[in-house]
Structure 1
Amino acid sequence: MSPFGQDISKINWDTMWGPKLEIYNIRGEAKQQVWREVQFGPGGEAFVLEKRRTRGVFAEPMELQEFPFDIQDLSVLITSDHPEDDIQLEEDEEDMSNVVTHSFVDESEWHLKKFVQCEPRVTEDEYEKDKYKKPGLFFRCCVIRRAGFFVWNIMLIMCIRHSDAMVVACRIAGCTNRFKTGSGTNFL
């Protein structure tokens, strides 16, 4: 019930104004759970809060330069098709954003941190005739390469190669000593 005696649960949200949100870096269809709340300010003005949970496959180009100790930011940009003056996008301070780490595909090679950083962004669509600034939120989390596998494999291979080289060097040194000491022996 609103402070003015109206039943908010009977609102048909499909006929109301919507935020026209667009999610970047998502591949395929996302599963979204959307719910709305109406909050009233001290002067009686109503504010609609639309909250979403999105599940899907997200992709990010990898910028790897310090193999095997790479750290990579994974980002998702959410924008609205409305001008900046018509909508205000904010991260929910009570129900913070998070990442489900157990569904991360490359979990054996990368460690996905659970921390999510959110910062407001203002974007322009460069291909639109009527350019206007669009509000957005830029969410970022971090993955760190699990270097242990690569380091141990490299060290193991290098040690094996080094020990093989030592064996070969010792055999060659042993053969040259025999050549020097064997004066009249037949070497066939």
Structure 2
Amino acid sequence: MHKVSLVRSALEVFQKATEANIDLLSMNSNKAYKVYVRLMFLRIGEIDTLNEKYQAQIAIESRWSIELDKISSNLSSDELNRLLHGKSISLMKYAETNWHPQLYVENALGDLKEQIRYSARKSKIDSQIYIREYRDIKGLFWEKLELHHFPSDVQDLSISIGSMFYNDKVILIADPYYSSGVNREAFIDQQEWSLYEHVDTQQRYIKEFLFREDNDDEEEEEDKGNGEDDNANAINNKERYRSILTVTCHAARRSNYFYWNGYWLIFLITIVSFCIFSIPPNLAANRLQICCTLLLTSITFRWTVNRSLPTISYLTTMDKYAIMCLFILVILSIWHAIIGGLIFYNTPDSRVTPASRFVHLDQYVLYLSIGIFILIHVILFIWLFCVPLKHRRQLKEKDIQYRRLISEEGHLIKKKSQRKSDYIPISIQN
């Protein structure tokens, strides 16, 4: 009986410890700071599609609520009076003695030039004190740039903002009262890219991988039978997540140069190959000579065009079109060799007349090849309209919605200014 009572008491202790730890976790999740973030693309520099990076200068404005007594001791009477009346006050050396979310840019490359300042202001909507952190950042940022639809591609230029704290301490949320944006005037690559007005925001969580130390096996043997320690280790080894907020602007490549100097010239070189059928089919040597010359010309032109294109491991739309035209030239060269061989083996003097069956066969192949060539281009135009250009049309529609929302925000600003309100809610549909 004594052993049973000991077991029961141990189980009760274990259950109480488990409930306490679960309550502690729920309290931590409820106490997580909600940090509202707004990002502005102040300046976008060169977009390097080859190395998947771009230059930019951004401004990050984050705010979170705080109790007045936590900062009132460091404020003068004049600053405290201004703060209570809804005025913004500057906080010098705030991060040295007070809590802040410790934000960082997840997709930054190298060292960033960063300036940080803090201010406080009382919201006239919920009457809470908000600390505002302003970050002015300049540097290089990594972005996965897809070129499958080149030269009709649209690139997403994003900034991913994270916190050094886990999601039980800090949750990053897009500011519902002030929208993020992009400055289209300060865009360096305007001759090569066209920047859209709207931006998209996405909130996600990334899993933090925990590494097990070498002495964990020894600790397990020592802690074996101790319910509280086992439960604490289970909670500490639980998967943890970080809150990430991604703000994305969109840039479309100006593709007219590549249409005229890429697609059009390849099209002209290929279409000249059909003129070879005007040479009698018994003169296969002359046909093959011209067709091979066009083939070499197309290959040389392709290498010339590729010098201005990024080197990637997959084929772009222009690569597929150029290779398709090369295959057409190769197939036509094979046909000219076949028809020349048939005439040579089936005609005694290797001469043909317009009524010859080989001439009619050659004409059928000409009409068939022209029909296939036209059909391929019709399919290409339909795909181009329905896939790459459709994405551009969708982004233009988002720009129209964004301008409409901005105009509505302007009207709300006038109304809210009369009511002396601080924030104007605005939401952008992705």
TM-score (norm 1): 0.69
Which residue type is aligned with residue 159 of structure 2?
Answer: V
Q: Which runs of no fewer than 5 residues in structure 2 stay unpaired?
A: 1-78, 213-235, 284-350, 354-430
DSSP 3-state at the match of 2:259: helix
Work out whether residues 110 and 146 of structure 1, in 8 Å CA contact, stay in contact via their aligned partners in 2.
yes
Q: CA deviation at 1:79?
A: 0.6
Matched, 1:97 2:178: no
Aligned mate of 2:105, from 10, 16, 23:
23
| C-alpha spacing 1:71/1:139, structure 2 compared with 1 (3 Å) | same
- Give 1:75's aligned amino acid: S
Q: Which runs of 4+ in 1 moved over 6 A?
A: none
* Structure with bigger gyration radius: 2
Q: Post-superposition shift, 1:137?
A: 1.2
Q: What's the CA shift for 1:121? A: 2.6
Counterpart amino acid of residue 118 in structure 2: R
CA distances 1:115-172 after superposition (whole Å, capped 9, x unpaired): 2212333333224675433222111122323332222221223214423652x444x2
3-state DSSP of counterpart to 1:83: coil
1:119 aligns with 2:202: yes
Picking from 50, 69, 93, the partner of 1:12 is 93
Task: Report the structure, 1 or 2, having the larger strand content.
Answer: 1
CA–CA distance in structure 2, aligned partners of residues 113 and 17 of structure 1? 37
Match in the other structure for 2:115? 33
How far apart, CA to CA, are the structure 2 residues paired with 1:5 and 1:60?
41
Residue 181 of structure 2: SS of its match in structure 1?
coil
Aligned to 1:154: 263
Gaps of 5+ in 1: 182-188
CA distance in 1, matches of 2:250, 2:104: 22
Q: CA RMSD in A?
A: 3.7
**Residues of 2 paired with 1:145 and 1:5: CA distance?**
47
The answer on whether the counterparts of 1:79 and 1:135 sit within 8 Å (CA) in structure 2 is: yes
Q: 2:136 aligns with which of 24, 37, 53?
A: 53
Superposition pairs of residues 163-178 of structure 1, within 5 angstroms: 163=272, 165-166=274-275, 168-170=276-278, 172-173=279-280
1:134 corresponds to which residue? 242
Measure, in 2, the Cα distance between the counterparts of 1:126 and 1:51.
30
Q: CA deviation at 1:10?
A: 6.1
Question: More helix by proportion, 1 or 2?
Answer: 2
Q: What SS does the corresponding residue of 2:198 show, helix, strand or coil?
A: coil
Q: How many residues align?
A: 175
What is residue 185 of structure 1 aligned with on the other side?
A: none
1:6-45 CA-to-partner distances (Å, cap 9, x unmatched) read 9x64643223223211212221222223221212367975
By how many angstroms is 1:68 displaced?
3.1
Identity of aligned residues (%): 26
User: Distance in 2 between the 1:22 and 1:54 partners?
Assistant: 10
